[in-house]
Amino acid sequence: MSALVSPDPTTGPATAAPVSDELVADALAGLSATPKTLPCKWLYDSEGTRLFEAITRLPEYYPTRTEMRILDHHGPDIARAIGPGAVVVEFGPGDGLKAVRLLSSLEDPAAYLPVDIAPEWLEAAAARVAEALPGLRVRPVVADFSRAFDLPGGNAGAPLGFFPGSTIGNFAPEEAVAFLRRARAALGPGARMLLGADLVKDTDVLRAAYDDAAGVTAAFDLNLLHRLNREAGADFDPAAFRHEARWNPGAERIEMHLVARTAQSVRIAGRTIRFAPGESIHTENSHKYRPAHLQALAEAAGWRAAEMWTDPDRLFSVWLLEG
């Protein structure tokens, strides 16, 4: 079965994407559940990644630029704490810009290993780092770090995990602990980790960061419905849904939801999914942390929090964990 759909003016030219069995299975399971949900990894196709990069430049979206400033401003302290000869292993390198910042401030880094499930993003990040730091050993690793993973051996140097952007916030706390434990095992003896974590703050600031005035985050969220139409043969009317960013005070997280404006039903892989008016699909979690909470998660995974750097407004935190 192929999912050829006509070009959609809101997402640019449609590419004939092959139907993904895993996406169909996740969609049927998640949309049959109560409340309806979908794994956030499906937000990040090429269009979703492009929109996420646009999000990082929005005035309301403070995390990316704040973390960059922390890495710049505290670069010398970070470099001193880490010392020479680090083998930097970055989980989900994105465009590679943060790695360039970090590696440029470190003393004599030994190698850079970006780890990602998508080879095409990996190559882009690896190329950017290789260009900015000629002579540095760069070894991209294709692996899904949300599951068990191994790193290639033969990297002489001090292993330093790098997990910026508060991507850890996508994980539920128990998943975050499991990831931190796996990363520690994969990095090996003497492992350290530089971890970016977004902090709990005023809920209006948080909500604006995930529901910007220009509607870029809404487009990012709604792209999931376009993707389900393209790659899972669904017949969503994206205009019949609106994006909502909710603060969940108990879990201290922002939740992204796609809310059905009216009662409707959608066909997907021969099944009918019904929506009541106002019913939502929960599409992403972004957990926010209090320093003591982040420290407890790290310790539960066998790490020790050695340092925490933050910005003057305490919006974001960068941690050095030791194994």
Q: Contact positions toward ligand AVJ, by CB under 6 A?
A: 55, 63, 165-167, 169-170, 210, 217, 220, 284, 286
Radius of gyration of the chain (CA): 20
Q: Supply the minimum distance, in Å, between the C-beta of residue 55 and ligand AVJ.
A: 5
In degrees and rounded to multiples of 5, residue 8 shows phi and psi of -105, 120
DSSP result, 281-317: EEEEEEE-B-HHHHHHHHHHTT-EEEEEEE-TT--EE
- Decide: 162 and 286 in contact? Cβ < 8 Å: no
Nearer residue to ligand AVJ within complex by CB, 55 or 186? 55
Q: Supply the minimum distance, in Å, between the C-beta of residue 58 and ligand AVJ.
A: 9
DSSP result, 221-239: HHHHHHHHHHHS-----GG
Q: Supply the minimum distance, in Å, between the C-beta of residue 102 and ligand AVJ.
A: 17
Nearer residue to ligand AVJ within complex by CB, 55 or 99? 55
Exposed, middle or buried by CB within 10 Å (0-12, 13-18, 19+), for 50?
middle
Nearer residue to ligand AVJ within complex by CB, 145 or 210? 210
Residue nearest to ligand AVJ (CB): 286
Q: Supply the minimum distance, in Å, between the C-beta of residue 170 and ligand AVJ.
A: 5
d(CA 162, CA 192): 9
Residue-wise over 149-184: b if at least 16 C-beta within 10 A, else e? bebeeebebbbbbbbbbbbbbbbebeebbbbbebbb
What is the CA 323 to chain-centroid distance, rounded? 23
d(CA 278, CA 79): 50
Nearer residue to ligand AVJ within complex by CB, 286 or 295? 286
Nearer residue to ligand AVJ within complex by CB, 168 or 268? 168
- Decide: 193 and 187 in contact? Cβ < 8 Å: yes
- Decide: 319 and 305 in contact? Cβ < 8 Å: yes
Q: Supply the minimum distance, in Å, between the C-beta of residue 319 and ligand AVJ.
A: 15
Nearer residue to ligand AVJ within complex by CB, 3 or 254? 254
Nearer residue to ligand AVJ within complex by CB, 48 or 109? 48
Q: Supply the minimum distance, in Å, between the C-beta of residue 291 and ligand AVJ.
A: 18
Q: Supply the minimum distance, in Å, between the C-beta of residue 64 and ligand AVJ.
A: 8
